[in-house]
Structure formats: structure tokens, C-alpha cells
A and B are shown apart, each in its own frame.
Chain A
Amino acid sequence: MNTVDLLALLPFLLIAGTSVFVMLAIAVWRSHWLSLGMALAGTAAAFASLWLVAPLVPRKVTSLLILDQYALFYIGLMIAATFTIAIFCYGYLQCHSESREELYVLLLVATLGSMVLVASSHFVSFFLGLEILSVALYALSAYLHTRSRPLEAGIKYLILAGASSAFLLFGIALIYAQTGTMELFRLAALLTGAQNSPLVLAGLAFIVTGIGFKLGVVPFHLWTPDVYEGAPAPVTAFIATVSKGAMFALLLRYFYTVGAQHFRPIFVLVAVIAIASMIIGNLMALLQNNVKRILAYSSIAQMGYLLVAFEASSVTASEAIAFYLVSYFITTLGAFGVVTVLSNGERDADTLEDYTGLFWRRPMLASIFTLMLLSLAGIPVTAGFLAKFYVVAAGACAGIWALILFLVITSVIGLFYYLRVVITMYARVQDEAPHVEPHAIGGSYVLVVLTILLVWLGVYPAPLLNVIRRVLPI
């Protein structure tokens, strides 16, 4: 490990360092504003450092991490999302009196974990990153420990994530038993010859289980609605975007490098998971009355769509996934941002009643939420449309028509519940009940920025597409 290696790790060092500094600062002087400022400065610096690191890549830093364009792209995405979420957190926590500052420490640690994941090239760093992320997330989900729902969410997440980690470790052990290595690039060479070995297949299946849990795909989705509902809204946004996005980037890197998606049993397994996620996610969302739960089931379905692109297994597919993830990040952050902005000190604004007639009270906010929901549904002018188009294109290119057909049918089902939320916001309410005015300040500005991004990507995606084309293939 030399200086250049250290320099290449700059984004990691900055994020880790910031979390330590925030912690120390809290010990010295407890100030919500200061903590936020430090967190924002740290993430912004880490984001800027990506340009410094870019000329140095691709570079293997020890055998654990690989820093290449692919990793940098997703690291940038994670950091940007964290930056946004930190601003949402500020407004959200303003109406809570106690221990507001530690949240930023946890947020930064979780981000560090997700960054390790997307740069991982070794099972050890995979597991390390996963645990750094997960442990921070347990605490984040249960952050508002005086309420019962967040506690329940935290415990549930802890137990199920623990179980899934066990599966993952077992899978890693099986593959290690067969090949004798945990390094990704050596695995790639060793596994091609051993694709019919039951040990390898079982190992891969267990790894899919572990990753599937984090992604919240059927049948490993049971935690998703409860944790989404229970966790504080900005934390939910973090789980939905950074945690899932990092996991997907890792899935893509590991499986595409090894070529495991070509193994027949794995292909079928993932196809079944994708179809089940699309169907169950969309159908269950129809039955919900809680906006956070609707978004939870919707995210299950979205992960199913992403798996369809994964199955296409081509350069187009990984581009489609990158574009989809960017659009999904913007959309999900926007949607949960609206929930955050509407929440108050007592509870999160998560019932449909909170949104009844929102358009007539706060037209901007309702319009933003409408655009976000339409983007999730894949309607033009939003990034979600092009993302879905890209996925369908990747699928059509690979000729996986059955999966595409499921995607189309289920996304029409999906329209039902998105429209339901949308139309609730435009419903006429007779009594103009004095609603508690929300507290978030910066959140609204961030929402406007996100909306502009959403429409910009939906109308003129060429710049982002060029970046993605340059950065990928893995």
C-alpha cells in the first residue's frame, strides 16, 4: 500500500473521517446545525474528491477493494444521495428535542459501508461493507427510540438481517470450499469450469438469498413494508436508495464478473425472484392504505424490474441498470422527501388521509409528489419513463420476452396504486382543517432540485447516458 493507493481511497477516508469528527464535535459542543454542516461538508468534499481519484483508476487497493470507473460512479451516487438525505434529516429532526446529532454519524458510517460494497472485490470486503452498513441501519431504523414503531422496525431488521448474513456467510464458505479463494477475479477463472458443481450452485444460491434480503425481493421481502413504515422517513429513504443501490451494484459486479447469471439454475432462480417480486410487490401495494407501505411494495416491484434488466446480461443491461438506479434514486428520494417534509414531531405523514386534498393546500408539494409517483409508474417526461424504456430495451435486445411481458402487465397493475395516491391529493376536502405546518426548511429546496433533475433526465438524458456509457462496462 503506497501513497497513491491512499489517495485513491480518499473518498472513503473523507467519509470515515467526517463521521469521527462529527462524533467528537458532539462530545464537545452539541449543535444540530454544526453536525449537519460538518456532514454536508464531508460528503461534498468526498464527492469532489472523486474527480481527484478518477485519473488514478482502475486500481486495486489491497486485494479487498477495486477502484474503477464503475465503483466511482456508484460511490458518487451514494454520496449524493447521502447529502440529500442529510438535509431531509435536518428538517425532520428539528421538531425532535433530544439526541439529534448522532444520526449524522450513523448516516456517514452507513454510507461508508455502502461505498465499500460497490468497490468490493473480495468476499471479506463484501461482508465487511455489508455489516458496516447493516449495523448502522439497525440503529438508524430505531433512531426515534421513544416511539414504538421505529423500535419494532429496528428489531425486525436486526433479526432478519442477521439471519440473512448467516446465509450469505454459508454461501461464501461453500464457494470457498470448492475453489479455495475468496477473491473475485480469481473466482471468475475458477468458477467457469465448476458451474455444475453442487457446492458452487448451492453457494451462489445462498449468496443470492443474502443479497435478495438486502434488496427486499420476494420471497425475502417480509421486512420491507414494516421497516419502511416504522423507520423515520429520511432513514427509510436511505434504506430504499443507498442500501439497495449499493447491493445491486455489488450483485452486478460479482455476478457479471463471474458470469454466474449464465448458469442455468441461477438464471432460472433470479427469473423466478424477479417475476415474483413484480407480481407480489404490485399486487400487495394495491391493498395498502399507508403511503410508506405503498412505497415499500412499490420498491419491491422496482427491484423486480431491475432484476429483469440483470437477466438480460449484456452491456446494454448494465447501462440500463445504472440509468434505472439513478432515476430510482431521484424518484425515491423525492417521494420520501415529500413524506419527510409533511411529517411533524408526533408522527410521520404516512396515511392516505394526510395527503387528501394536498394539492389545494400545497400545490407545489403535491405536484412534486405527483411527478415522483408518475416517474415510479414510468410515465413520460419523467426519468422513470426512460429508465423503464431502457430496461425493456435491454430485455428485448436479449430476447427475454416472458420477463418483459410480466414487467408490462405488472406495471399496469402498479398504475392503480400510484394513481390512487395521486388522485387522493387532488380530492376536494370540504373542511379546510388547519394542518400542522411542516418544519423542514431546506427540504423543500432539495425537492425542487430533485424535480428539476427528474424532468431533465426524462426529457434530455443524453449527458447522463454518455457518462454511463463511458463509465461502464465493469
Chain B
Amino acid sequence: MILLWLIIILLVGGLLAWTVGCWSASAARWIALVAVSADFVIGLIVWVRSAGRVDLLQQQAWLRELDWNWIPPFGIHFHLALDGLSLLLIMLTFLLGMMSVLASWTEIQDAVGFFHLNLLWVLAGIVGVFLAMDLFLFYFAWELMLVPMYFLIAIWGHERRLYAAVKFFLFTQFSGLLMLIAILALYFAHHTATGVFTFEYDALLGSPLSPHAALWIMLGFFVAFAVKLPMFPFHTWLPDAHTEAPTAGSVVLAGLLLKTGAYGLLRFVMPLFPAAARSFAPFAMALAVIGILYGAILAFAQTDLKRLVAYTSVNHLGFVLLGIFAWNKLALQGALITIVCHGVSTGALFILVGALQERLHTRELARMGGLWETIPRLGGVGLFFALASMGLPGLGDFVGEFMILLGVYQKSRILTIVAAVGILASTFYALKFVQYAFHGANHYHWALPDLRVREAIIFAPLIVILLWLGLYPQLVFNTFNPAMEQLQQDAGRDLHAQRR
């Protein structure tokens, strides 16, 4: 039940915020903040409680579960379940959710209630994606994330918001429909093989598929996740959507929506179609490495600060894709840490850019320079997150990328070397960001207010989390490992069968 409450709190909180927003904007903000914080606290409680029982219940992978009949004629269940992977991701969701609400505190002045309705509903959709264990429900939540996100970009976005919003919607919707076809194909293939109509994840895990069918169905899923991730040739919606979205929208997009793609690969593509995924892995990994380099180079070439940060996502998520398809323990742990840390550091960077834009009314790097002089504390924060993003040892991103490289090294040395060059390339854009924005002479004679209390409240926990994950990530691994072993076991099914 607690899983359902996590979603209901967000949905109802959103509706409340909308209703109250008609009279008082700040009440709407507070309601949204309280709703997300309540979820965060519930999540923390679940996490702390589960920490003790992880080793006891190796047999049962789910920490929490909820399974109701939903649409019996189709064999559709309302099945939510939580394991270590989902738990970490929903914690990230709530954390960034709170930060998004705080970051929009002064930025959003129009239709505040409706804004928070959309923000909370997009979070609800994301939580649904991370918890759904019925493929139909998963698709339902997957599509549900889109509409509020579309509104966030289209109503509160910047200059080219309509173009960006429509592009975002069409890319994800088209790939989503391909996934729907794949889900249905799997559903009917499973029925042909076993005589049972079901969308249940657990049931479909063992579905006997012909290699040919498995490859096509896997590709249907893969495209949907690759577009969300985004993987190299499918990434073109990302810079537009991220740049045009309001700060909260960018944070949710980069920090969470992209992660649903990574989550889908981890949860569905690899375990459901192990053989097909393994045969496809070289292509995916090659594309991942291209994405790493391409993202870094394009980020370096940007003059718009927000676009620069947007392209770093292509770079970082390339690492995640690489790690997932390497599919060994080190690489997977690395991928998870990268997922979390990229969410935190990129989210923070977007909030920072938003804060700068609020002060400067521009995102052009050329119009900045010498800002350290007037806003030293904000500059320090910027430096910190830029260093985190480029993978400075001691901060979370480094741990993730390093572990991914270690894991991938066992699969392919060449790819490891090229990807390592990608880390080097990320240094350039991170330093460019700091140098152009904060260093140098203050040509335009900016005199701006420095870090506000509200902003300090946003950045401080994010800094602590990055340091924590960089110095002692073991706690996260403890939560993740049972889930990871289960996934690896599911994905290794066919290998065992062959050996036998």
C-alpha cells in the first residue's frame, strides 16, 4: 500500500496545489513542497527499514509489493513493486522533486498552481515508471510522464518553447508507440507459447521466444529507452527541450526523465531478452562511446550556458549506456552511481544556470565573465558542480565513470580507451563553463546579489550527497546489490539453460 501512497500523495498534492493556486501562489508552492517532502520522508523510512532485511530475504527480491487485478479481461494487473534499484531511483526522484519546487520559487510567477500540478504529476508518472511491474502499467506511466512535461516546457519555457515541446513530445511518443507494439508482440508471443494472457514482468521473464522474434521485440523496447536516454543518433530532442524548459523542467528532464530510459534498459531489455541483448551489445556500446565523445565535443562548442549543460547529459548518459551493456558487476554498479550522481550534479548545474539567468536575464556565455568578482559564493558552487561533472576524484561522478571503465575493460579495451578520452573531453567543457562565466574581467560590470538562503538550502544537500557518494558509496551498493544480482540472474537464465 505504501507504494500506492507515494503516487497518490503526488497526484492529490498536485490537484490541491492547483485549486489553492487560484487564491494564493505561495500556498500552492508550500503544498507542493510538503507533498514531495512527505514522499521523501516515507521513502527514507522504507530505505532505513529495508537496510536491515536485505540479507535475510535473498529469495524475495521485492522489498515492498502491491498487486491488484486491474483489467482482468486482458490479464492486466496494478502491480507495483520496489527493489533496491527502484528505491534508489525514487529517492532521487523525490530529492530532485523538492529541489525543483524550491528552484521555481521565484522563477515561476504565472499560473503557479497549474505549474505545480504539472510538476507533481510528472513526478508521479516517473515514480510509476520506477515501480510498475506490469508492462501495461509501465507503459501507462511511461506515457503519463509526457503530458505534464509537455505543458511545463510549452507554457513556462523560454523563447522557442513550442518547438522544443512538440519535438520532445513527438520523439518520445513515437518511440513509446514502438515500445507498445513490442509489449503487445511479447504479450501475444507469450500467449502462443504458454496459453496465458499476462503483462506480468515476472511471468514474461521466462517467456520462450524465437531468437528472431526476441531481437525485434527487444529493438522495440530499446528504441524507446534509447530515445529517452538519449543515445547518440536519437538525442536531438534533448538540447532543445532542456534549454527551453523552465529550471524545474530541466532538472526533472535531466535528472529523472533520462534515467527512466536507463532504468528501462536495466529492468526490461537485459532481463527479458538476454540473448538478443547480448548479441546487440557491441552496437549499443559503440553508439554509447560515440555519444560520450560527441556529447562532450558539442557541449564544448556551445555558447548558450544551458545548452552546454544539456549536452553534458549526452556525454554522461553515454557512460551509463556503456555500463549497462557491459553487464558485469563493476559496470552495473558504476552505471547506477553515474545515474544518481548525474541526476544530482546536472540538476544542480541547471538550477545554477537558472539562478544566473534570473539575475542576468541571459544565458549567453559571451555576456558573462568575471562574475566571481560579484557573486563569489555562487561561483564557488558553480566550480564545485562543474568539477563534479568532469569527474574529479572524491566526488560521485568519478566513482561511477571509473567503475564503468573498469567493467568495460573486461569486455573491450578499445572502447574503454576511447571512452576514457571522453572523460578528458569533459574536462574541457567543465573548465570552459567556469572560465567563461566566472573568471576573467567583469567586462559588463555586473553587480549582482550573491547566493540567497533558499539557494543555499538547495545546493548544500546536493554538495553533501556528491561528496558522500564520492567518498563512501558503499551504502548505495548495499541497497543496489541484491536487486542487481536478481537482474543478473534473470538475464543469465538462458546461459544456465544452455549449460544444462
What is the interface of chain A, defined by CB distance below 8 A to chain B?
A: 360, 363, 374, 379-381, 385, 389, 392-393, 396-397, 404-405, 408-409, 411-412, 415-416, 419, 423, 426, 428, 460-462, 465-466, 469
Judge whether A392 and B184 touch: CB under 8 Å. yes
Give complex CA distance A144, B70 in Å: 47
Question: Contact partner of B143 among A379, A423, A465, CB < 8 A?
Answer: A379
Give complex CA distance A95, B155 in Å: 35
Contacts of A404 in B (CB 8 A): 181
Give complex CA distance A224, B30 in Å: 50
Judge whether B162 and A423 touch: CB under 8 Å. yes
Q: B177: CB under 8 A from chain A?
A: yes
The count of residues in chain B whose C-beta lies closer than 8 Å to any C-beta of chain A is 33
Give complex CA distance A381, B154 in Å: 20
What is the interface of chain B, defined by CB distance below 8 A to chain A?
A: 70-74, 110-111, 114, 139-140, 143-144, 146-147, 150-151, 154-155, 162, 165-166, 169-170, 173-174, 177-178, 180-181, 184-185, 187-188
Contacts of A465 in B (CB 8 A): 71, 73-74
Contacts of B147 in A (CB 8 A): 374, 379
Give complex CA distance A408, B185 in Å: 14
Give complex CA distance A419, B155 in Å: 12
Contacts of B181 in A (CB 8 A): 392, 396, 404-405, 408
Judge whether B144 and A423 touch: CB under 8 Å. no
28 A-B pairs with CB atoms under 8 Å apart are: A363-B114, A374-B147, A379-B147, A380-B143, A381-B144, A385-B140, A385-B143, A389-B180, A392-B181, A392-B184, A393-B187, A396-B184, A408-B174, A408-B180, A408-B181, A411-B177, A412-B174, A412-B177, A423-B154, A423-B162, A423-B165, A423-B166, A426-B155, A428-B110, A462-B71, A465-B71, A465-B74, A469-B73
Question: Contact partner of B140 among A380, A397, A411, A426, CB < 8 A?
Answer: A380
Shortest beta-carbon distance from B121 to chain A in Å: 10
Contacts of B180 in A (CB 8 A): 389, 392, 408
Q: Nearest chain-B residue to A360 (Cβ)?
A: B111
Give complex CA distance A428, B71 in Å: 40
Give complex CA distance A379, B169 in Å: 11
Shortest beta-carbon distance from B437 to chain A in Å: 31
Judge whether B71 and A419 touch: CB under 8 Å. no
Contacts of A469 in B (CB 8 A): 73
Apart from A381-B144, A416-B166, A428-B110, list 7 A-B contacts with CB within 8 A: A385-B143, A392-B180, A396-B185, A396-B187, A408-B174, A409-B174, A469-B73
Give complex CA distance A404, B181 in Å: 8
Judge whether B73 and A397 touch: CB under 8 Å. no
Judge whether A415 and B173 touch: CB under 8 Å. yes
Shortest beta-carbon distance from B142 to chain A in Å: 8
Contacts of A426 in B (CB 8 A): 151, 154-155
Q: Nearest chain-A residue to B146 (Cβ)?
A: A379
Judge whether B185 and A419 touch: CB under 8 Å. no
Shortest beta-carbon distance from A389 to chain B in Å: 7
Q: Nearest chain-B residue to A407 (Cβ)?
A: B177
Question: Contact partner of B72 among A379, A393, A423, A462, CB < 8 A?
Answer: A462
Judge whether B140 and A462 touch: CB under 8 Å. no
Q: Nearest chain-A residue to B184 (Cβ)?
A: A396
Give complex CA distance A426, B147 in Å: 13
Shortest beta-carbon distance from B198 to chain A in Å: 13
Judge whether A462 and B73 touch: CB under 8 Å. yes
Q: Which of A360, A374, A423, A466 has the most CB atoms of chain B within a 10 A radius of its CB?
A: A423
